[in-house]
Structure formats: C-alpha cells, structure tokens
Structure 1
Amino acid sequence: MLISGENGSGKEVAARRIHALSQRGDGPFIAVNSAAIPDDHIESALFGHAAEGVGGEDGPQPGLLEQGHQGTLFLDEISDMSLPVQARIMRLLQEQRIERVGGGVIQVDVRVIAATNRDLRQEIEAGRFREDLYYRLNVVPLYVPPLRERLEDIPGLVNHFLRQQAQAGLPERAFSPQALDVLAQYHWPGNVRELKNLVERMVIMSPGRVIDAEHLPEFITPEGAVVNSAKSVSSGECDLWAEVIAIDSLREARERFERAYLQAKMGQNDGNISRTAEAIGMERSALHRKIKSLGLA
C-alpha cells in the first residue's frame, strides 16, 4: 500500500487506522521515518545484524522488520531511501524474507505500508526511485488530502487529540463551538500535525476546562490575520513559515524552505540559473545540482 499526501496531512494516522481495522490489528505497528535514519545505519536498523559488534551491540540484533512480524511496518518518506535499500525492500515484498547485515536469512510475515510527500513518478524519472518498487507498493494507493480541503474533519480530530492528551495524564479540556468555528477559518499550512501541536499547546496553556476563541493564538484568529497583513507580511510568506515550523524533521523543514526559496529566486531571475546563482552567491554547478536534487529541474 502507498499513502501519499503533504507533510503533516495525517498519513501515519491513516496507516495506524488501517492496521487497527485489519486482521493484523493485534500485531505490532512499527513506524519508521526513513528521512530520520542516517544512510549508514538504515540497513542495520531495518534488517538487523548478525555479527557481534555491528551497530555497537553484542550478538545478533533483530531489525525493525523482524519486530513487525505478523504486524505492519510503516515506512514514512520512503522516497528518502537509497536505491540499494529500496532493492532490499523490493526483495522483502517478493520473498517475505530478509537477510541480516552480516548474514543470516530470516522469514518474516509483515505488511508494508509506505508513505511519501513527493511525486514518485517524478522521482523515478530522475533516477532516485525504483520503478518496480513503485508498482509493487502502489497496488492499493491512498491519497490523504490536506486539512484545508477537509475542514469538516477538524472537530473530530480535535476531540481525538484531546482524548490522547487526557490519556497521557494531562487535564481534560474541551473546545467551545466558537473556538472550533475559528479553527475552521484557518488555512492550516502545517496540516493535521499543526492542529495536533495546537491542541497540545492549548491543553497545557488554557486557564480553564473550556478553550474558547479568545484563548487561541493570534495567528489563528481572523483578527490575527489582519494584524499580519498590516505588518506587510504576505500570506504566502506566513503560510511557508507556519508550514516549515510545523515540520518535525529538520531535514524535511530545510528541504521545504530551500525548495520555496529557490523557486522564488528563479522566478525573480526569469528562470536563468546563472543569474540566480550570482544573485544568491552560489556556484552555478552547485545550484544546478541543488535544483535537480529538489526536483525543480
């Protein structure tokens, strides 16, 4: 299965729900952020290792795939995996067995759900993603739309996050209808992740049990939008800043900023790479490589 959607749109939430409702619901759910694991550690982390001393530990160590036996492995941002690791994932899907780093073949029964915020067909054309793995994963495609396109989901999501906070031992809170109306007027550039972070913040900071519209941060409220406009901050800049801040991974946040920054600078220079490189103080060859790596070519 392949889940696609913007950063923070709720791809992992969807994967967990699919797992919980499936025949594997009683088994483990292992979530892996492919972008957060260094390239030199990801094979050992996923497939485990057999030799003593590998990875700094003594004796054979099971990888995340083994830990997900009879359950679900969620591979977030699978497009960040190197081609050799993609090849090993492809072999797993074909043979339902893995080879630990250092030797030792293990039979595993695990369902793989992958997720991405990129267009994998473009990644295939750029030579960064295996075409056979794409078709193997895309048997059951699922697109998670951004929160701004499903504002009617906000009350249910808010209540879900409030229950999570209460189960974690934080005070029970509730959003007033007026506060929910304000949330439905916001554009949510950071998607579900931004909403979750806001709920967590309000649970901690709210002075009483009921969170009203007046308790919401200024940037969420319509009045806050007017203030931002008066400060001559463009809506696009506000959206980009909020989206970057809502991203947990530094690598993803930096990539999102670089993509938007270079798109803007290229636009200011009519798409001329040489002029853009000179304007931003970067070597033309380095800029060309950066543009290609970000999928802007």
Structure 2
Amino acid sequence: MHNNHGHILIIDDEPLVRRSLSEMLTVSGYAVSTACNGSEALNLLKDYTVDIIISDMKMPEMDGMQLLKSLKSLRYDAAVILMTGYGTIDGAVEAMRHGAYDYVTKPIVDSEIKIIIKRYLDQCRIKEENLRLKEQLSVKEREVFLDIVGKDEKMQKIYNLIEAVSNTRATVLIHGESGTGKRLIAHAIHNCTTQEKKKPFVEVSCGALTDTLLESELFGHVKGAFTGAIKDKMGRFELADGGTIFLDEIDAFSPVLQVKLLRVLQEGDLERVGDNKTIKVDVRIIAATNQSLEQLIEQGKFRKDLYYRLNIISIEVPPLRLRKLDIPLLVKTFISKHSKSINKKIDDISDKALSLLIEYSWPGNIRELENVIERTIILCKGPVISHHDLPDFLQKQKFSSESAAVDKSGCLKLKDALIAPEKELIINTLNTVNWNRTEAAKALGINRTTLYKKMGKLGLLKNNGREQ
C-alpha cells in the first residue's frame, strides 16, 4: 500500500462526481487518482499501483463491466467497487459474480463508501499479518533442515542464510569451533537446490595433509613432478569443476598455497604440480575454519586479500553451550540413529540423565555429544538411558560446583549451599540465551535489575563483559 490508508483510483465520466469523491477521500487520508473512463484508467495503471478502484458502471468507450474484465485478464490485484444507478443494480450484482468487490448506488453516501473501503483495507491488513505470522511459525517449526538438527533461533537464521546463498555461486566462509557441524552446513548449501545437488561436491580436510600433499591433492600433478609421481593425477579443483569444493581447515594453507588459491578465486586458473599448462575451472568454494582468520592476518600467517575473497558470505556456527535448548532434540536424534545402527532397542532417556547432558558445557560440541550417546547406547543395559549409564565425567560435574562451598572440615556451609544452586541456575540460563541479560531475566521470571544485582553478588559480571 502506498500510505497508511491505501491508494484509490476514481473512474467516472462526470467531473463533479470525480471531484467530490476525490476531495472527500483525500480529506479522509487516502491517496487519490482520477480518470474519466476505463481506457484512461488502464493507461494510468501502467504507471501506478492502486489498492482500490471505484468505477462508474456506465461510461463511454469502456464501461465498468468491460474494465472489470480487462483488469481480470491483466491479473491486476485491486478491489473494484462499482457505482451504479437504481436501474443498473442487477448489472452491478452480476459484476460482483465476475470479481467486483462491492457496489454502491448513486447518489453516493460518503459514510457508505468509507465503510466499504475500510472493510477491504482491514481485510488486506489481516491477510498480510496472517502471512507474516505463518512465515514466522514455519521458521520456528524447522527442527531439522537438510540433516542439520536444531530449532534454536541462531540455527533458524543459518537455515535462512543457507537458502539465500544456495542459488548463487558466492564463496562462503564458515566459522565455528570443532564439532559444531560446519561440514553439514557445507553439504546443506550444496544440496539445498536440485540444480546444484546434481553437480560435483568435493571435500578436502586440509589440516590432515602435509603442505606438499595438500598442493598435489588440490591442484593435481604430472608424472615425474616428484618422487612417487608415477602418473598424471587430476586435482580436487578439476574434479569439482562445475560444482562445489569444500575446504575444511582453510587456516592450514601455507603462504604459497594461499597465493595459488587466490588465483583460482580471482581468475579460475591453476597449474598442476610440475606442469606449466594453465587449466580453467569453474568451482564454487566453501571454506571452513575453527580459527580466527583476523588474528592470523595480524600475525602475518594469512593473506588479507584472500580473506576478503573467501569472506563474501560468512556463516557463524554457534557452539553447543550457546544453544542448549537444542540438546534434547539432538539427543533424541542420536538415540534413534545409533540404536538402529547398533540394532539395540532404546526407547527413551531419563529426565535426570537429560539434565546432566544439558548442564555440561560440551567443549567438543555436537561431535562430543554424539560420541557420548553412541557409547551410552552400547553400554546401556535397559531400554531407557539412566544417569548411571552416562560417562563418569558427566556424573561428577554435579559435585564440582558444590565442592567450592565445602570448607576444610568437609562441612557445607548453609549460606553457600543455598547460593550454589542459584548460581548454577543463573549461569545455565545465561548460557542458553548467549548471556543476554534481558532474555535471561524473562526466562527466570525476575526483572533485569534484580538479575544484574544477583550477578554482581555471585561474581558473574566479571565473567562476561557484554552489556545487554
């Protein structure tokens, strides 16, 4: 809509009707345009978009019914309100069967036409609001996206970004700690569209290879290029031609390899090791790192121009400790996956066991969680995983926070015993909402000032410098 009230086009061959209606609706806050007949109106609509068309039924050159049919054939999205004399009401009713929104009889009553206009615009706003809410709900309901599991808000944003970039050939740089699922995101970008999914996807774990091996693996080599090069070999870039190459641990590239990669990014050119023949490739590059490339640039270990070329689209993958609300969903997924692969019936996990999993900080992130669940399923003796089935380090974590409150005599002071669970609850809540104090206060059911005071008393303000 062009303004808060909508844009209206008035069509009538009588100047007095056009002028009086236009003045009345303009005073009411609407944007108004006028035309003397249907033909002039169609010409105007080539340049203007309107929300409502108020047209007389009987006009020279093109009457209201002809105009309505023309608008329908053009698929013009505007409500048509017809003005008619008493003798042509039947025609107006017939027009409504052909798509007119409503009709009014002449002489026009201002309040009547205003009610019809307001009703239509209110209906439009309700439809727009419903569409917006449906879009929001559809985003929130995505618990699994192309093998990526997570309903956390941070993950929803990543899903949206994957969809946005999937139809392009833009270079993508994925940041995230080890075990956060960077590889899954790279696969999701490639598999998100049917067209890209059909093309090659080549994956290289750069950190697992020596510099010499990595150069040969990526760019290929010719026979005799080095000891052991007994025949020509295509590199991974050639194998990925027309598709996507995923370079994991891009920070492992030596300065020489960084220059070669930059040339591929800028020009699509490369040479095999031991050869001077230039090969052209068309490859979309997705790179991933668990290091801060900005710090490596400051240390002189990574080229700034290469970083800018790689960082066209940046995806930051949150660690598991900052998306703890996803842990129950991940646990359920891994139980289903590994109980099937091991062929062992596991129906559920106890609340106490799940609480221990949620409370742990998971330095190894999702990979560590999956390994724990797989191990637990193998050793579990019943159909339900209990806290006794979990590794010792998870069961012992409960006592670590309590031990700080025990004095040298081994006695737990009452004051400290009361503080320990409150501090643990606040820390867990803050971790869940990425240390956003406003969101944490809402989750805890206290106001932000109270939370701030409690954090000060518990020594938590020093642990996190972000003001929120």
> Same-fold call, TM > 0.5?
yes
Higher relative contact order (CA 8 A, sep 6+): 1
Which residue of structure 1 lines up, in the alignment, with residue 184 of structure 2? Answer: 13
Q: Which residue of 1 aligns with 2:398?
A: 225
Which string of whole-angstrom CA distances, capped at 9 and with x for unpartnered residues, describes residues 236-263 of structure 1?
xxxxxxxxxxxxxxxxxxxxxxxxxxxx
Q: Tell me the equivalent position of 1:285.
A: none
Cα shift readout 1:128-171 (whole Å, capped 9, x = no counterpart): 11111101111101111110000112233334434553675654
Alignment of 1:74-93 (within 5 A): 74-93=246-265
In the alignment, residue 251 of structure 2 is paired with which amino acid? Answer: S
- d(CA) in 1 for partners of 2:268 and 2:384? 50
Matches within 5 A, 1:136-147: 136-147=309-320
Task: Provide the C-alpha distance between the structure 2 equivalents of 1:172 and 1:47, rounded to a whole number of angstroms.
Answer: 47
Cα distance in 2 between the residues matched to 1:59 and 1:65 = 18
Partner in structure 2 of residue 58 of structure 1: 230
Q: 1:129 aligns with which of 270, 281, 302?
A: 302
Counterpart residue identity of residue 152, structure 1 = L
Distance 2:290 2:326 in 1: 21
Judging changes above 3 Å, is the alpha-carbon distance between structure 1 residues 102 and 204 closer, same or farther for their aligned structure 2 residues?
same
Residues 107 and 25 of structure 1: is their aligned pair in 2 closer, same or farther, counting only changes over 3 Å?
Answer: same
Match runs of 1:164-179 below 5 Å: 164-165=337-338, 168=341, 170-171=343-344, 173-176=346-349, 178=351, 179=353
Q: In the alignment, what sits opposite 2:375?
A: 201
Once residues 229 and 74 of structure 1 are traced to their aligned partners in structure 2, the CA distance between those partners, rounded to angstroms, is: 45
**Residues 1-297 of structure 1 aligned to structure 2 (within 5 Å):** 1-22=172-193, 23-52=195-224, 54=226, 56-103=228-275, 104-162=277-335, 164-165=337-338, 168=341, 170-171=343-344, 173-176=346-349, 178=351, 179-221=353-395, 223-226=396-399
Contact 1:170 1:204 in 2 (8 A): no
- Measure, in 2, the Cα distance between the counterparts of 1:139 and 1:126: 22
Q: Secondary structure at the match of 1:128?
A: coil
The answer (yes or no) to whether the contact 1:170–1:203 under 8 Å persists in 2 is no
Gap change, CA 1:72 and 1:210, over 3 Å in 2: farther
Is the contact made by 2:222 and 2:229 (CA closer than 8 Å) also made in structure 1? no
Q: 1:131 to 1:144 in 2, by over 3 A?
A: same
Q: How many equivalent pairs are there? A: 231
Q: Is the 8 A contact 2:360 2:394 kept in 1?
A: yes
**Shift in alpha-carbon separation, 1:16–1:92, aligned structure 2, 3 A:** same
TM-score, normalised via structure 2 length: 0.45
Contact 1:75 1:112 in 2 (8 A): yes
Q: State the Cα deviation string for residues 12-44 of structure 1 (Å, max 9, x = none).
A: 222222222144223343332222111121100
Pairwise CA distance, 1:227:
6.0
Q: Deviations over 1:196-215 (max 9, x none)?
A: 21122123222244323331
5+ long unaligned stretches in structure 2: 1-171, 405-468
TM-score normalised over the length of structure 1? 0.69
Does structure 1 conserve the Cα–Cα contact (< 8 Å) formed by 2:216 and 2:235? yes
Partners of 2:272 and 2:323 in 1: CA distance:
43
> How well do the aligned residues superpose, as a CA RMSD in angstroms?
2.7
Matched AA of 1:120:
L
Q: Is the 8 A contact 1:6 1:146 kept in 2?
A: yes
Partner amino acid, structure 1, of 2:391: P
Distance in structure 2 (CA, Å) of the matches to 1:171 and 1:128: 49
Offset of residue 55 of structure 1: 6.3
Indicate the SS of the match to 2:202. strand
CA contact (8 A) 1:29 1:71 kept: yes
Once residues 237 and 336 of structure 2 are traced to their aligned partners in structure 1, the CA distance between those partners, rounded to angstroms, is 30
Partner of 2:104: none
Residue identity (%): 43
